[in-house]
Structure 1
């Protein structure tokens, strides 16, 4: 049974739904992307999903769930799938984010089951109450964090909706970090004829952006870049801790999503030795525990950025587009062995490179350009009853 796993950050996806979860842009003629209207973008997103035809699609920047009101991520995505006759007709999310976007999974219910199954321990206090405490007081509310601060080894990393102690400044003092969008920790079951034949753990992540977005940021961009870089490393280490726990239990693991980071992506990475995605992937000294991905050795071109690239961003200071490798699907060795060794199981659906890739699919190429500033990444593998 062939399985296609995909991850895709869909820019402004939240703006393409009504308040009551209908896949109808409130202002269909308004430009949501450069020279692309909301309706054109929604049509492009649907066409791309139909063409790449995944069994499991991790959606980064999925429409948000509101704490008050009728907006609900799962309902919105299921309505979208029904309206466009998508095979990924069911949806699921994990912990809600504190913003307007969510991390969600769309999947084919005939072939896949998804359950939010977070590991780690919960906080004793609510997040709102936690924000009013000092760092030390916050750590005391989480026994795992307190054990680390006292120098004792912990058995499990904290749950992703809690806090994480990490020495990001290499000064032997632990800072406390929280995810803005807690990773979606799911148990995935694959069905063949209605029978579950293979299970694995999947962590869908949208790691902290280190981008500079406004004039105020630009005035202090170095400080902000370094701070965000430290946060990326802390969040990546937190995810890696959970990966190690799953591997220790003999469970196959997939980590996918937007890392807002990649090998050699910027100057500040040199201060820390490696990128967040490399931290998540593991170390060469322990090859059986490395998570494999499409590449960790992109090439730099001074005129256009990185090759390969999973995203293309307009740079205000240069007036040009910068290509970046920041979206990944990382798989443990057991899942990698299920892929076809004679072909590259990963594909980046980049409409710009290589130019020959979409010669026979001009409509898909145009849709990929219109749909988002990120491009889908897919990974193909095969399972059977003996997997």
Structure 2
């Protein structure tokens, strides 16, 4: 069974309100990339993944007059993808949905929200985020997608698709304002990860096969705020101490070596000089009973993955399609 997680930058901009691909020469949400160029690049990347299930982060928008799942299924039909059925959970207000695109001949997948260990993800959680001894109300801007997934051979899994809050100080008007917003966002991001971890622990206690996948906007050693708060959100979700833990080999690499080369799943151009920053933001974390199924991970990075680098059309497609790159995991259920 092959699973992937892929954050597609402004995927929603490629569709009209009827879910049809624009596929024209007008600009997409990506800088200097037309909608036709991004659409073609994404078709190439999704076909190259050839996964049984893909957790699509920043998927097509959904609301009362717009069906994000239907739009994604139309995209799959356009490129003849075998992963052609889409399921969505709680829609959000950010134009960045979390959807699971899967092959119905291999998997069944249903939205199955839970309240185990913590409130349902479209609800609220009260938590003291600072030092005033008063609880703040935490909400997910993008509620995680909880799925019950069954392989055609009978193995059942719990999947959670995640897009945790960005820590970037959007809207800051000064350095002091940027620092204040960054710290507040960091608190909210860690609170979301604690909420998620409570759900994970309940599933692990029940012996469920757990797979948690998506964009955490965080990772061990990623920024200076980790020193202030003592840990990253990724470390919280993986599990700490003697309790049951999740595993992701790229997170383990980042945790074990604070200096030197590290895996990356995203590549951003930074102002004002346009230099690139690489970061590890996207993960597929699994419980030990999934890891024992012969789990193997790879990042389809255009420069770091030898096969991607050798395949020039795929390398160009990966760079054109998004500022993130797919993380792929295979297991033998």
TM-score, normalising length: structure 1: 0.81
CA contact (8 A) 1:212 1:218 kept: no
Give the corresponding residue for 2:106.
Answer: 111
Offset of residue 215 of structure 1: 5.2
Conservation of the 8 A alpha-carbon contact between 1:116 and 1:185: yes
Q: Give the deviation of 1:99 after TM superposition.
A: 2.0
* Alpha-carbon offset, residue 31 of structure 1: 4.7
Identify the residue that residue 220 of structure 1 maps to in structure 2: 177
Correspondence for 1:61 among 48, 58, 62: 58
SS of corresponding position for 1:220: helix
Aligned residue-pair number = 330
Counterpart secondary structure, 1:350: coil
Contact conserved, 2:117 with 2:201, CA < 8 A, in 1? no
Q: How does 1:11-160 map to 2 (within 5 A)?
A: 11-25=9-23, 27-67=24-64, 69=65, 71-120=66-115, 156-160=117-121
CA distance in 2, matches of 1:206, 1:156: 20
Q: Aligned-pair RMSD on alpha carbons? A: 1.8
> Do the aligned partners of 1:307 and 1:323 also contact (CA within 8 Å) in 2?
no
2: distance between equivalents of 1:364 and 1:177?
A: 40
- Alpha carbons 2:213, 2:284 under 8 Å: kept: yes
Q: Secondary structure at the match of 1:189?
A: strand
In structure 2, the CA distance between the partners of 1:177 and 1:381, relative to structure 1 (3 Å rule), is same
| 1:302-348 residue CA offsets vs partner (Å, 9 max, x unmatched) | 9xxx72110011111453111011111100000000025xxxx1111
Q: Please, what TM-score do these two structures have when normalized by structure 2?
A: 0.94
How many Å apart are 1:36 and its aligned residue? 1.9
Cα shift at 1:359:
4.4
Describe the shift of the 1:322–1:116 C-alpha distance in structure 2 as closer, same or farther (beyond 3 A): same
- Alpha-carbon offset, residue 357 of structure 1: 3.6
Distance 1:232 1:348 in 2: 24
Counterpart contact for 1:161–1:182, Cα < 8 Å = yes
Which of the two has higher C-alpha Rg? 1
**Given the superposition, is the C-alpha separation of residues 217 and 8 from structure 1 closer, same or farther in structure 2, using an over 3 Å criterion?**
farther
In structure 2, the gaps of 5 or more residues are none
- Contact 1:294 1:328 survives alignment (8 Å): no
Instruction: Say if 2:246 is the partner of 1:291.
Output: yes
CA distance in 1, matches of 2:174, 2:185: 12
Aligned counterpart in structure 2 of residue 375 of structure 1, from 312, 316, 325 = 325
1:284-308 alpha-carbon deviations (Å, 9 max, x no partner): 423xx11001322436679xxx721
> How far 1:98 sits from its partner (Å)?
2.0
Partners of 2:258 and 2:266 in 1: CA distance: 14
- Give the one of 346, 349, 366 matched to 2:316: 366
Establish whether residue 173 from structure 1 lines up as the match of residue 115 from structure 2.
Answer: no
1:152 is aligned to none
Match of 1:280, SS? helix
Are 2:271 and 1:309 equivalent residues in the alignment?
no
C-alpha separation in 1, matches of 2:269 and 2:174 = 17
In structure 1, which of residues 234, 255, 259 is the aligned counterpart of residue 216 of structure 2? 259
Q: 1:326 to 1:93 in 2, by over 3 A?
A: same
- Residues 177-221 of structure 1: CA deviation (Å, up to 9, x unaligned): 0001110011011113xxxx1111111010001113345375511
